[in-house]
Amino acid sequence: MTTENLLRERECVLNLPDVTMVEHVDRIARTTGSSPVPEGKVRRGYRHVADKFGLAELSAIPSDLVRPPRVAQCPIQLEATLVDAHPFGGLAQALEVCIERVHAEEQVLATPNRIDPDEWRPLIMSFQRFYGLTGEQAGSSRLAEIPEESYRRNGRQLAGVAQSR
């Protein structure tokens, strides 16, 4: 899901992979559905892929309330609609969505309306690295091959970040 897609279509699915899905998620790192590939992504080594489901070896299934499909293998899928977009920091935007429907596999549920935190093992990306809830790295990411500086506009440093000595 990109910002442009969500602003245009006004709906999305947030597919929440678990820690066992590292390889599937990483297969689509550095890919985009945009054609032509935007210049900023070209500089970072992205390529166009029309079928990300196929490349990731995942299955698309229909959503109930929104047009975008869900990822069948994700234990939790959230169908959502765009409520508002809040620009900040130049090109960035915070996108506010309303969750319209939650799909969750039975094994991650404590009750019909509650996720069991002892059973749900989300895949988390932190600073270009994949993690689970163990604190140890869950796998490597192709995104970590992109120098972080390439995401900064005009080589600017982050404001208000102190370095430890």
Nearest CA to 11 out of 62, 72, 80, 77 is that of 80
Average pLDDT over residues 13-30: 95
* Predicted pLDDT of residue 43: 93
Mean pLDDT of the chain: 87
H-helix or E-strand spanning residue 96: strand 92-104
pLDDT band for 145, please (50, 70, 90 cuts). Answer: confident
Yes or no: say if 141 and 125 are a contact pair by the CB < 8 Å rule.
yes
Report field, pTM of the whole predicted structure over 0.75:
yes
On whether the CB atoms of residues 28 and 56 are closer than 8 A, the answer is: yes
pLDDT for 165 beyond 70: no
Interval 41-76: pLDDT, tens? 999 999 999 999 999 999 999 999 999 999 999 999
Q: With cut-offs at 50, 70 and 90, classify the pLDDT of residue 79.
A: very high
**Residue 154 pLDDT level (bands cut at 50, 70, 90):** low
d(CA 140, CA 149): 19
**What kind and span of H or E run contains 23?**
helix 22-27
List, in order of start, the domains of the chain with CATH numbers: 3-29+58-155 (2.30.110.10)
Q: Is the pLDDT of residue 1 over 60?
A: no
pLDDT higher than 70, residue 123: yes
Residue 141 has pLDDT above 90, yes or no: no
Place of tokens 């992979």: 17
pLDDT of residue 138: 72
Number of other residues whose CB lies within 10 A of the CB of residue 35: 10
